[in-house]
Amino acid sequence: MKLPPLHHNTPATLEEALDLLGEHGDEAKVIAGGQSLVPMMAMRLARPAQLVDINGIASLAAMEDRGDVLAFGAIVRERAAEKSSVVAERAPVLAEALPHIGHVSIRNRGTIGGSLAHADASAELPAVAMVTDAHVVVRSRRGERIVAAEDFFVGHFTTSLADDECLVEVRVPATLPGAGWSFQEVARRQGDFALIGVAAMVALGGGGSIDTARICVFGVAERPLRIRTVEDALAGAAPSPEAFEAAAADAARDLEPPSDVHGSAAYRRHLAAVTVRRALTAAAARAGVPG
Amino acid sequence: MEAVGARSIGARVMRVEDPRILTGRGQYVDDVTLPGMAHAVFLRSQVPHGRLLSLDVSEARALPGVVAVYTGEDIARLTTAAQAGAVSGMNLSPDMKSPSFHSLATDKVRHVGDPIALVVAESRYIAEDALELIVDDIEMLDPVVTYEDALDPGKPPIFDELEDNVYLTAEMAFGDIDAAFAEADRIVRASIQVHRHQPVPMECRGLIAAWDPSAEHLTIHASTQSPHMLRMVLPDQVGIPIESIRVIARDVGGGFGLKNSVTREDVAIVAAAKDLGRPVKWTEDRLEHLATAGHAREEMADLEAAVSADGVLLGVRMDVKVNIGAYPSDPFPGAMQAYTIIMSFQGPTRLRALAGTSAALFSNKATYVAYRGPWATADFLRERLLDIVADELGIDPLDVRRRNYVVRDEPPLAMLTGRPFAGVTTRESVEQAAGLMGWDAFGERQRAARREGRYLGIGMASYLEAAPGPRVPGQDGPDIMGYETAHLSIEAGGQVVIVTRQQPHGQGHETTLAQVAADELGVRFEDITVRYGDTDITPMAIVGTGGSRAATMANGAVLHASRELRGKVISLAADLLEANPADLELAAGVVSVKGSPVVSLTLAELARVASDEPHRLPAGAASDLAVTRTYDGGRSGWSGGTHCCIVEVDVETGIVSFERYVVVEDCGVPVNPAIVEGQVRGGVAQAMGAVLLEHAAYGEDGQYLAGSFMDYLLPTTTVVPRIEIHHVQTVPTDPDVNFRGVGEGGMIVAPAAIVGAIEDALRPFGVRALEQHLPPARIVELAGTLRPR
């Protein structure tokens, strides 16, 4: 479990980093917290010839409340966001998701941007990005793009980032006042990758019916999935246990999750239904639906 | 933690090992660097079963920084193939067919991870780079994975020289089994499985071998539980005589039985070091470890019990199968479980007759090794059977245990195997555990919880732990692990030195042996040093630390040696002070005349006279302040106890959580209660891992599926609850030594208590748990709560 030969670059500015990425293309890999990339290199599952280490780029270190969005620079640590009262207040679903990521020592190094760029299909933060309709800002020598989460995640470990692009910022919209949220996952142990997870938001309209529902299920496909047919069906419905039970069954029915040593596809599909129901129920309670 | 007061035994003395280990100053094998040392890595098979057609190492050999690449052909030239157990004589067990094999694959690969080639390079990095340049050509063979595969005559034999995959068969009978079945009111049957899981010490395997060509002498730095075992096993294979081998083991980061064997990698590394004439280090990484270091417990039994109407086991017939993987471990082949599971089945019950057959079977899996309580499946089978009997007869499982467990000093006074039930406190521990847990009131809570959709369950199990336990009357001589020898001496500065053949790897012997000596000698605890882990100074022992024996055997040896040394000290002081020995006392390292403390000699003064001024001693007086004492175990009793737990099962997700876990144990007189409790908690944690998380799983195709810590899940602090530990009053069986082993007790009994509790929680779903491993996916399946699509 030793790393293969590689060159470790430590650019001091974003421009230098983008130059390196432009120069080396698919030979290069950006490293921030390294909590996924380093083990993969040690197991020789990933072998970039050039590492572009962005930890020294001060301009990527900011965490800012910009009113409608919270912006996280590419090297903001998960632990910093977890301890932020601003995040807890303005993006509570993110705050609720963060403690599920590995352990404290992992979150001390791991970054929010890195988790999105790594795009592990059973990771928590891509699902949070999807349920909040977050955007990522990516830069290259060719310019800047702002990409919606929906368009960013392509598959397991695959995003729409080009080889010469670097994720520089994550923009998470602040939660609408009155909206309830929930983040739930089933893992074999605290801190493990989820067998199944759900991020959900529920906002009520006039008369107590559901105005908007959002459901993102992760760990069940190549990328986190928004279940939009079920979201649409819930809009306008009364927030009853029966409605959530039916929504959960509908959300899980067409999933084709993976099978592995921890559980079969059928087990994961079953967990998806259980977890969607629990997440909608918890989100609705936070939105003011009496328990 | 308590300061050491007047009496050291029984005090929660802080471990003297801990400052070193907790500040990162322990010295493990990988911390040792020798001049000119090269680094080794093994190329390992990716396929479970195949014929090795060709191996091209030319590119790897040519990589700059590579020192050498060894193939199976090279190893066959440098070493001699061996049968596992040749040193212990276990290769000659009746009804056993022992294969001979080399440390690297020569003709075939027999499991995923089987070493094929050995690369030695200037760094581990270069060695791993070179691995990628080796090209092998392996013709796949039909894999032998399950018990059924191993018994299928249509499957290829894993070792060509043997006609099939049956390693050993055994048959044993005790008591009149036919009479027991004739008398039975009821026959209860169950087929019970324990799954393959593994010890997983924090420190993986590893060694450094350094050959001195001029002195023709081998020094090995090893991560081992048994330094002398390497000296005993290696000579026949590597051609170096035992007297030319020194083994050094400083800190060892856990073993749990896994490091009580000499592995194929050990042999290959020694061969390479001797061939190269420079030190070679191999540090196993976790991927290698999980796939190849050794697995345990893949065992099953078909049980048939003759039971009376009131739930008493009269007789049991059992048919046991053990899946021991491809290469038997050396010098204690895992096949021995075929005997011990039958021999240990009775536990603390009054069973009248037992008849067992068993088979140890080869498969294309990693080597089967000893794991904390190697006979643990016997306890699981017995306790599961008691729960099943309770369920089938509609009797409270607590009452079934009351009716089956022996009562102290009432017949039977011995097990079917002849071992006496001396000082057994099982019944006392059962009552204490039931009382602590509120067993009788639990049913009402359980029903109330079910009405809220919550599923609580309670489970109980009891055990006896032979560590070493009472001898069968008439038994002469030691068992395979031998008697225990300790050297005690007083050094020039008055420091007492204990040299033990124990090889601590987490137990805290530096602390506990010193506690025993402090009391017996009359010396301050901090003035005693324990030395171990260097075969140049330690007494010979095939097993250093294993079998939970140190409590009785090593403490016993130290206790008796301390008394003898104290006698020598008093005698020498009496000569010098011209006093009557009966008038002298030794306390805090000072000998003085009772009532006249000014007339005294320190141990340092006595040591100086003994070494430098022997002319001051009367003629014939012993002039050395040293003692070597061998201890036979005395009239050792049993360790034992009862575990009881309450779990809650989320029947929608299958996740299990512990509400409460209570241990009531009797390990005799605890030398250091904090260390005893640590042993118990560690064992229970491993059992929680076994039931809920840990599975060394293979696919039907023989691929290994648990190759990293993302797939092989260990219990963490969020899984393991607070474990309450209570002590039953010990019944002494020996006039002097009533310290009893505690290393294995937690691990052997806890799985049955936990599985019993889960089954109880799932009772509304009609679940019977016939397997030890109950991960969430399986619980949902058993409970039938999995939703249809």
pLDDT at residue B5 above 80?
no
Residue B290 DSSP label: I
The neighbour count for residue A141, using CB atoms within 10 Å, is: 12
Q: Tell me how far apart the alpha carbons of residues A214 and A134 are, in angstroms, rounded to a whole number.
A: 13
Sign of CA dihedral A110, A112, A118, A121: positive
Inter-residue contact A265 to A256 (CB < 8 Å): yes
- B710 and A192 within 8 Å at the Cβ level: the answer is yes
pLDDT for the residue numbered B619: 76
Placement of tokens 């799932």 in the chain: B762
pLDDT of residue B2: 44
* B776/A188 CB distance under 8 A: yes
pLDDT tens for each residue of B344-374: 999 999 999 999 999 999 999 999 999 999 9
- The tens digit of pLDDT for each residue in B386-434 reads 999 999 999 999 999 999 999 999 999 999 999 999 999 999 999 999 9
Instruction: Please give the Cα distance from B762 to B783 (Å, whole number).
Output: 7
Domains, chain B, with CATH or none: 478-631 (3.30.365.10)
Whether residue A241 lies within 8 A of chain B, CB to CB, comes out as: no
Question: From the candidates B124, B131, B653, which should be mutated to test the interface with A, based on the most A CB atoms within 10 A?
Answer: B653
CA A256 to chain centre: 20
Find the mean pLDDT for residues A218-239. Answer: 96
B287–A253 CB contact, under 8 Å = no
Mark out chain B residues that contact chain A at CB-CB < 8 A: 124-125, 128-129, 132, 285-287, 652-655, 693, 695, 697, 705-706, 708, 710-711, 713, 715-716, 718-719, 775-777, 780-781, 786-787, 789
Residue of B nearest to A272 (CA): B653
Instruction: Identify all chain B residues contacting A249, using CB atoms and an 8 Å cutoff.
Output: 787
Please give the average per-residue pLDDT across A165-177, as a whole number: 95
Structural domains of chain A, with CATH? 7-53 (3.30.43.10), 61-173 (3.30.465.10), 180-286 (3.30.390.50)
Least confident of A204-208, A246-250, B241-245, B685-689: A204-208
pLDDT for position B291: 98
Chain A nearest C-alpha distance from B631 (Å): 45
pLDDT at B4 over 50: no
Whether the CA torsion B497, B502, B507, B512 is positive or negative: it is negative
Residues of B in contact with A254 (CB under 8 A): none
Instruction: Please identify which residue in the block is written with the tokens 């009269």.
Output: B314
Integer CA distances (angstroms), B154 to B48, B164, B165, B777, in order: 17, 9, 11, 33
Is pTM beyond 0.90? Reply is yes
In which band, very low, low, confident or very high, does the pLDDT at B557 lie, cut at 50, 70 and 90?
very high
Cα separation of B349 and B401, whole Å?
8
Measure in Å the smallest separation between the Cα of B386 and chain A Cα atoms.
30
Residue range B155-159: mean pLDDT, rounded: 97
Q: Which residues contact B128 (CB under 8 A, 6 or more apart)?
A: A1, A2, A4, A44, B41
Q: Parallel, antiparallel, or unpaired for β B280-283 and B38-44?
A: parallel
Confidence (pLDDT) at B203: 98
Task: Collect all residues with Cβ–Cβ distance below 8 Å to B748 and sequence separation of at least 6.
Answer: B372, B373, B375, B376, B379, B463, B465, B683
Mean pLDDT of chain B: 95
Report which secondary-structure segment, H or E, holds B189: strand B186-194
Instruction: Residue B584: name the closest of B592, B572, B576, B596 by CA.
Output: B592
pLDDT at residue B152, as a whole number: 98
Calpha distance B268→B117 (Å, rounded): 10
**Record: contact B789-A262, CB cut-off 8 A:** no
Whole-number pLDDT of residue B478: 79
Helix (H) or strand (E) holding B599: strand B596-602
Interval B295-344: pLDDT, tens: 999 999 999 999 999 999 999 999 999 999 999 999 999 888 999 999 99
Say if residues A135 and A66 touch (Cβ distance below 8 Å): no
Instruction: Kindly determine whether residue A263 and residue B776, on different chains, have CB atoms separated by under 8 Å.
Output: yes
Over residues B22-61, the pLDDT tens digits come to 999 999 999 999 999 999 999 999 999 999 999 999 999 9
The ipTM of this complex is: 0.95
Model confidence at A125, pLDDT cuts 50, 70, 90, reads: very high
Residues 6+ positions from A272 with CB-CB distance below 8 Å:
A196, A198, A217, A220, A248, A251, A252, A255, A257
Residue with tokens 């260390």: B675
Tens-digit pLDDT profile for residues B431-469: 999 999 999 999 999 999 999 999 999 999 999 999 888
**Would you say residue A94 has pLDDT above 90?**
yes
CB contact under 8 A, B780 and A267: yes
Instruction: Tell which residue, A195, A180, A190, A211, has the closest CA to residue A279.
Output: A180
pLDDT for residue B786: 85
pLDDT at residue B1 greater than cutoff 50: no
Q: How far apart are CA A222 and CA A219, in angstroms?
A: 8
Q: DSSP letter string over B531-543?
A: E-SBTTTSPP-S-
Flag whether residue A249 sits within 8 Å of chain B, measured between CB atoms.
Answer: yes
Residue from the list B652, B716, B777 with its beta carbon closest to the beta carbon of A263: B777
Average pLDDT taken over every residue of chain A: 96
SS3 B656: strand
Q: What is the pLDDT of residues B199-236, one digit of tens each?
A: 999 999 999 999 999 999 999 999 999 999 999 999 99
User: Which of A145-154, B328-337, B499-508 shows the lowest per-residue confidence on average (mean pLDDT)?
Assistant: B328-337
For chain B, what percent of residues have pLDDT higher than 90?
91
pLDDT tier at B6, thresholds 50, 70, 90: low
Which chain B residue has its CA at the smallest distance from A278's CA?
B652
Looking at residues B113-128, what average pLDDT do you find?
98
Using CA atoms, how far apart are residues B362 and B338, in angstroms rounded to an integer?
Answer: 13
User: How many Cβ atoms are within 10 Å of B37's Cβ, its own excluded?
Assistant: 15
| Residues β-bridged to residue B190 | B303
pLDDT of B595-622, one tens digit each? 888 889 999 999 999 888 888 887 777 7
pLDDT at B477 (0 to 100): 78
Question: What is the SS3 assignment for B331?
Answer: coil
Query: Distance (Å, rounded) from C-alpha B541 to C-alpha B484?
Result: 8
10 Å CB burial of residue B149 (0-12, 13-18, 19+) is buried
The alpha carbon of residue A142 is apart from the nearest alpha carbon of chain B, in Å, by 36
Question: In DSSP terms, which residues pair with A145 in a beta bridge?
Answer: A138
